[in-house]
Amino acid sequence: MASPTSLLKRLLLGRPFRSDRLQHTLLPKRIALPVFASDALSSVAYAPDEILLTMSIAGATAYVYSPWVAIAVAVVMLTVVASYRQNVHAYPSGGGDYEVATVNLGPRFGLGVGSALLVDYVLTVAVSVSSGVANLGSVVPYVADHKVGIAVAAVALLTAMNLRGLRESGTAFAIPTYGFMIVIIGMIATGVVRIFVLGDDLRAPSADLVISAEESHLTSFAFAFLMLRAFSSGCAALTGVEAISNGVPAFKPPKSRNAATTLLLLGCIAITMLLGIVALSRKVGLKFVEDPARQIVSGPPGYVQKTVTTQLGSAVFGDGSVLLYVVAAMTALILFLAANTAFNGFPVLGSILAQDRYLPRQLHTRGDRLAFSNGIVFLALFAVVLIVAFQAEVTRLIQLYIVGVFVSFTMSQTGMVRHWNRLLRTERDQVVRRRMMRSRAINMFGVLLTGAVLVIVLVTKFLLGAWIAIVAMVVIYLVMLSIRRHYDRVAEELAPAEDRPVLPARNHAIVLVSKVHQPTMRALAYAQATRPDTLTALTVNVDDKDTRALQAEWQRRGIPVPLTVIESPYREITRPIIDFVKSVRRDSPRDVVSVFIPEYVVGRWWEHLLHNQSALRIKTRLLFEPGVMVTSVPWQLASTDTKDLARLDRGLARGPARGPRFGSLESNVDEHEELTSQR
């Protein structure tokens, strides 16, 4: 009968998949788009907010430049999409930026890209979920008042969905992702028709607000710096593009072509929505500021600033309309689901890094549902820590954001340029060479553009919080190097010698005795069955009365193994046993010592608290002693319902005796085979 924990696991995650079902979990393009592109698509829900609130520092007049900032972001996105289409064709194995940098620039550069992406994936979850809570809080005040708790609950729900498997989570996310596209594009189209065709005068709820500029007399240099800062914030729209290159193995064949097509669809849809939202915001006079309490000079009493998409929905569909709530709900939902991009990218990247021995090997293992379960859980835990630490504030979290992704963009494109240079040195077919040169030109332009954006991001965001992300990348980089050195050192230690191993001279068996009972008798019988050179029953005297009673019972039963008693004036058990074992080995270093520890096997969780604590401490300490073999001899209590094993134990105690309580090795083995055949 399954345990309650197992039943709960099956209920939440479903039945486990066989390894040969991995092919059935691969994704067609229609499912892969919402799985891998939800992050980049959803960024249009907060990238315009960050552009406008940054520009509000210079006052409402600065909003006139917002479309140009959005166009600059769109150019970068087109370049990155075109560059990554080259990546997925050249490196379809799923290593993505990490593989490109490792192969073409060296392991240290690859590790730098890996650390940057790991940090960025964690931030993707924290930023997306926090932004989703903020959007939902725009229309539901309760959510705004409890945003941290709701954000943590959303991460937990996403974790459970992804633990069920890639295809199942993709199917669940497809409907809301496509719904978000339809709602946002429909809102933009409706607004354009009403303004330019029907001639309606649409006004955002914030159109009549009077805002004060924090810096009303910016110099040309300071104003340019502000525009660059707005541009760097808007570049958050590019996050998630790299996830497709990391997830190529999850696509159905032909993998590279399907991944490249999905990437192109992602770029076109995201750019359309980003430019449409920013342009429509300008037409309806929308205002969005960083600090409403300080920057809003004149407005309606009790004004609460809503997100850009919510304000646009109010302007286009009417305040309080059903479609407004649909816009808010779909925007919040897609932002929650945008974290799914990281839930698919982080575990795959973690698995590859673990395979290369830069992360614990557990991250390379697939779970019951053929997902990288350990990576999913690790990502969720780190994201929850960030959400709680920054109180789910998008503006605070986003300053840490996009540094990592542009580090990986720049390194990856540099690696691709070297990749094409290497191939061009040997390729002689002119048609192929022209195709390679075109790809190299795309990647070279990508290097220049993403490198420039990286510099802008570092300059404009460093003191605002980007330094935290940089420190995190450095720490993860050093930790991964340490893990690799550890694995290399262990592999070197465990490498078999060329010479044949030298057999031990003698084997000394020691059975630990606390009292004369069934577990002790089984341990003595098993130790005798191993035919050691010497056999010692060992007990520690921590109470004179109990020890004398044990010796008397030992003599009464006529047990033919001598009982050795060691003194412990301070009533400690572990240290005297360790000292005794060391003394046995000290006389002959080529000898081995086998320590047999009787242990109870219990069937209930609370019984673990009542038994085996001393055995666990002794066993743990003995494992550090060279030349010592530790054997646990289990005795199953009635709570485990192992009647056949109890019968076998009774059989071991019968049989032709060498002493009053010991059966011969031959008779015990015969009876074990008989009982096994009956079972």
For residue range 177-229, list pLDDT tens digits in order: 888 889 999 999 999 999 998 888 898 888 888 887 665 555 677 778 888 88
Alpha carbons 129 and 147: distance in angstroms, whole number? 10
Which segments in the chain show pLDDT lower than 70? 1-25, 94-95, 164-173, 213-219, 246, 299, 302, 364-372, 499-502, 605-612, 641-679
> CA 436, CA 418: separation in Å to the nearest integer?
12
Residue 588 three-state SS:
coil
State the residue range of the domain holding 511: 507-678
518, 478: one domain: no
pLDDT at 679: 34
Residues 183 and 294 placed together within one structural domain of the fold: yes
Domain boundary among 457, 487, 517: 487
Distance of CA 176 to the CA centre of its chain: 24
Residues 293 and 425 in one domain: yes
Query: Quick check: 83 and 446 in contact, CB under 8 A?
Result: yes
Residue 648 has a pLDDT of 44
**pLDDT of the residue at 312:** 92
Peptide linkage before 254 cis (omega within 30 of 0)? yes
pTM of the complete model: 0.69
Residue 286 is which amino acid?
Answer: L
Q: Looking only at Cα atoms, what is the longest distance across the chain?
A: 108
Q: In terms of domains, do 215 and 272 share one?
A: yes
Does residue 612 lie in a domain region?
yes
Do 318 and 363 reside in the same domain of the chain? yes
- pLDDT at res. 673: 37
546 shares a domain with 454: no
CATH number at residue 518: 3.40.50.620
Helix (H) or strand (E) holding 539: strand 534-541
pLDDT of residue 292: 79
What pLDDT, on a 0 to 100 scale, did the predictor assign at position 187?
94
CATH of the domain at 217: 1.20.1740.10
Residue 664's pLDDT is what? 38
Rounded Cα gap, residues 484 and 87, in angstroms: 27
Cβ neighbourhood burial of 293 (10 Å; 0-12, 13-18, 19+): exposed
**Count of domains for the chain:** 2
